[in-house]
Amino acid sequence: MFFHKHHNKRGEEIAPDDIFLDSSNLPDFDTDQFEGRLEKTISRKTVIFVGCFFALLLVLCLVRVGNLQLKQGENYLARSENNRLQHSIIFSERGVIYDRNGEELARNSFSKENQRDFFRREYSEYSGLAHILGYVSYPKKDSSGNYYQDKYIGKSGVESFFNEKLSGANGLKIVEKNALLEIKSESTIQPSKTGESVTLSIDARVQNVFYGFISDLARRVGFNGGAGVIMDVRNGEILALVNYPEYDLKIISDGENKKVIEKYIRDENKPFLNRATMGLYTPGSIVKPFLALGALNEKIISPTQQILSTGSIVIPNPYFPKEKSIFKDWKAHGWVDLKDALAVSSNVYFYEIGGGYEKQKGLGIKNINKYIKLFGFNEESGIEAFIEERGIVPNPEWKAKMFNGEIWRIGDTYHTAIGQYGFQVTPLQVARAMGALANNGRLLRPTIILGRGNAKSYKNIAIEDEYFQIVKDGLRQAVTAGTAQGLNLPFIKVSAKTGTAERGTAKKKVNSWITGFFPSDAPRYAFVVLMEEGPQENQIGGLFVFRQLLKWMRINTPEYLTGA
């Protein structure tokens, strides 16, 4: 046989097929996986080459490690420490705002549940404080979690005006984290400084109830809004400064409830308007006491001289000479002197002492402007924290500017004398002016800060005390027998003047005013209430509000009803 069996050293038999095995014999071999191929031993040259290659890599690595460790070790150590240690802000605690009795009106709260590093502002549950306190903008982060606004920013009211005092100063701490960003330790390197507190002259109880009476009447009757002020006539401290409607301080500070904020913005009743300091309103008859003082001081009429009111006065019409211009009183009052005229609010009396009529000399528009402005109208009062409007006292220059050069006529003087035409005042101006009347001519600067009022710092109005007393008697008579009888209460003597100012060309809306001071015999507080744009047929207004407030104060805050 051509092939014969061979034996290996162990005596095992080797078949010829094992010797001549070839891939061609087994076509199912996968040649891509080296099946069916004969293996060769790696050459010595190849082993040496690969060994040298890896040895070179090892040397390069050792050189690099040596460079990083020895030459740049300290630098990278510092960088690694900075990656592990991070600076973090310690937000300061904002100062607390108190009312005059120590009631917290704006304070701070902190909760990790809110996922914030800073205190949130919490405001008192008392109503009527939004425009006084104002609101804040909180610290803000960017998308990377870094604070681009690292402070509270007061946006209005006391929060804005005293922002620097309330803010304090932020601190700084070092936070150590591991590779998993878990905090391992914290160390304060600069402590935060708590902001200073502010104490207001406001009594939150009176403010809250005052707001409630105004808001209730507005909703029930249909007034667009309202405002009220109570000011100490001795030093200018504000006991209450009310605006209706107002906004929710928490919602505005958080800025998250976009739907409600948008509703505030679109509200026709303007909840963001501080009516007490920025609302401009036609005053109507509440300016009559100041004209009376001017008339007495200029000696154009004596306190006892009477003027007949038959319900109107008539003068030639400057545009149509054959016709007459009629200036109406709200009723025929008969013969009235100065005190009577104030008590019953006679328009005819003030037409005549304002602009003159027949034999009665009038102040004239120049003197009307002089005496009205002496009492702080047409100027800012200087109160802290609020934007103020100056208002308008009509005069020939104003008319020419507003009405394309038209000249001033006697009818314009008549309307100005009863607080109509272009007359515009703020409720705070009215309270300040009434305070100057109550204290015999000391025009004080109002303040909402307890203890800041200064009885020695004022503008003096050079009118004799005798004349002030005559006008004050007339205002007391308005309460006992005139238009303000709703304030004739057994537990407190009040002196007051009502006013009703018509609004719009159709005269279907009116502003309802009441202003005055109490107690009458020893004045301590001046007050004003405005109810804005109610229906003309309505008979309930500012007087009703203040009557309710005085009755509440008798039970809950009787300390304010005693004399100076």
Q: What is the pLDDT of residues 517-540, one digit of tens each?
A: 999 999 999 999 999 999 988 889
332, amino acid identity = A
- For residue 104, tell me if it sits in a domain: yes
Mean pLDDT of 390-403: 96
Task: Kindly report the number of other CB atoms within 10 A of residue 380's CB atom.
Answer: 17
pLDDT in tens, 105-114: 999 986 655 5
In this structure, are 358 and 458 located in the same domain?
yes
- For residue 184, tell me if it sits in a domain: yes
Which CATH number do you get for residue 222? 3.40.710.10
In this structure, are 250 and 391 located in the same domain?
yes
Residue 456 has pLDDT above 60, yes or no: yes
460, amino acid identity = N
Choosing from 199, 219, 244, the residue where a domain stops is: 199
476 — pLDDT class (breaks 50, 70, 90): very high
Choosing from 176, 199, 222, the residue where a domain stops is: 199
In this structure, are 243 and 177 located in the same domain?
no
In this structure, are 479 and 399 located in the same domain?
yes
Do the bridges between strand 458-460 and strand 312-316 make them parallel or antiparallel, or are there none, so unpaired? unpaired
Identify the CA nearest to 443 among candidates 423, 463, 420, 421. Answer: 463
Identify the CA nearest to 374 among candidates 273, 487, 467, 477. Answer: 467
78 — pLDDT class (breaks 50, 70, 90): low
Q: What pLDDT, on a 0 to 100 scale, did the predictor assign at position 3?
A: 45
Q: What angle is formed at CA 408 by the lines to CA 407 and CA 409, rounded to 5 degrees?
A: 115
Q: What pLDDT, on a 0 to 100 scale, did the predictor assign at position 14?
A: 58
Q: What angle is formed at CA 426 by the lines to CA 261 and CA 422, rounded to 5 degrees?
A: 110
What is the three-class DSSP state of 88?
strand
Structure tokens at 201: 């002259």
Which CATH number do you get for residue 183? 3.90.1310.10
Q: What pLDDT, on a 0 to 100 scale, did the predictor assign at position 1?
A: 46
Q: What pLDDT, on a 0 to 100 scale, did the predictor assign at position 52?
A: 84
pLDDT in tens, 544-563: 999 999 999 999 999 999 87
Q: What pLDDT, on a 0 to 100 scale, did the predictor assign at position 2?
A: 44
Q: Assess contact for 184 and 178: CB atoms under 8 A.
A: yes
Query: Could you give the percent of the chain with pLDDT greater than 90?
Result: 68
**Alpha-carbon gap, residue 435 to 238, rounded angstroms:** 11
Mean pLDDT of 341-347: 97
Residue 116 has pLDDT above 90, yes or no: no
In this structure, are 494 and 447 located in the same domain?
yes
- For residue 12, tell me if it sits in a domain: no
Residue 101 has pLDDT above 90, yes or no: yes
**Alpha-carbon gap, residue 279 to 281, rounded angstroms:** 6
341 — pLDDT class (breaks 50, 70, 90): very high
**Alpha-carbon gap, residue 503 to 420, rounded angstroms:** 10
Describe the strand order of the beta sheet including 104-109 as a list of residue ranges: 120-123, 104-109, 97-98, 198-199
Mean pLDDT of 437-458: 89
Q: Assess contact for 230 and 239: CB atoms under 8 A.
A: yes
pLDDT in tens, 289-318: 999 999 999 999 999 999 999 999 999 887
Task: Kindly report the number of other CB atoms within 10 A of residue 311's CB atom.
Answer: 14
Q: What is the mean pLDDT of the chain?
A: 88
Alpha-carbon dihedral of residues 157, 230, 281, 396, nearest 10 degrees? -100
Q: Which one is predicted more confidently, 469 or 120? A: 469
- For residue 27, tell me if it sits in a domain: no
Describe the strand order of the beta sheet including 495-503 as a list of residue ranges: 238-244, 225-232, 525-535, 509-518, 495-503
In order of 232, 282, 460, the CA distances from 451 in angstroms are 12, 33, 21
Mean pLDDT of 340-347: 98
Mean pLDDT of 474-480: 98
**Alpha-carbon gap, residue 511 to 528, rounded angstroms:** 13
- For residue 289, tell me if it sits in a domain: yes
Q: Which residues in 162-194 are b (16+ Cβ under 10 Å) and which e?
A: bbeebbbebbebeeeeeeeeeeeeeeeeeebeb
What domain count does the chain have?
A: 2
pLDDT in tens, 184-210: 666 777 888 999 999 999 999 999 999
In this structure, are 208 and 105 located in the same domain?
no
Q: Which one is predicted more confidently, 35 or 129? A: 129
In this structure, are 161 and 261 located in the same domain?
no
Q: What angle is formed at CA 527 by the lines to CA 535 and CA 96, rounded to 5 degrees?
A: 105
Q: What angle is formed at CA 294 by the lines to CA 420 and CA 447, rounded to 5 degrees?
A: 75
- For residue 339, tell me if it sits in a domain: yes
Residue 282 has pLDDT above 70, yes or no: yes
Q: What pLDDT, on a 0 to 100 scale, did the predictor assign at position 323?
A: 85
In this structure, are 215 and 195 located in the same domain?
no
Residue 158 has pLDDT above 90, yes or no: yes
Q: What pLDDT, on a 0 to 100 scale, did the predictor assign at position 521?
A: 96
In this structure, are 236 and 159 located in the same domain?
no
Residue 250 has pLDDT above 60, yes or no: yes
Question: Is the peptide bond prior to 427 cis by the omega test (within 30 degrees of 0)?
Answer: no
In this structure, are 158 and 214 located in the same domain?
no
What is the three-class DSSP state of 318?
coil
Describe the strand order of the beta sheet including 171-177 as a list of residue ranges: 85-90, 171-177, 183-190
- For residue 16, tell me if it sits in a domain: no
**Alpha-carbon gap, residue 409 to 456, rounded angstroms:** 42
Do the bridges between strand 104-109 and strand 120-123 make them parallel or antiparallel, or are there none, so unpaired? antiparallel
Domain interval for residue 174: 87-199
Choosing from 199, 215, 238, the residue where a domain stops is: 199
Contact partners, residue 203, CB within 8 Å, separation at least 6:
99, 100, 101, 239, 240, 557, 560
In this structure, are 218 and 145 located in the same domain?
no
Do the bridges between strand 495-503 and strand 140-141 make them parallel or antiparallel, or are there none, so unpaired? unpaired
- For residue 44, tell me if it sits in a domain: no
> Which of 53-57, 324-328, 457-461 shows the lowest per-residue confidence on average (mean pLDDT)?
53-57
70 — pLDDT class (breaks 50, 70, 90): low
In this structure, are 172 and 224 located in the same domain?
no
Mean pLDDT of 67-84: 59
Residue 423 has pLDDT above 90, yes or no: yes
Q: Which one is predicted more confidently, 292 or 39? A: 292
Q: Which one is predicted more confidently, 66 or 127? A: 127
What's the whole-model pTM score? 0.83
Mean pLDDT of 497-503: 89
Q: What pLDDT, on a 0 to 100 scale, did the predictor assign at position 32?
A: 53
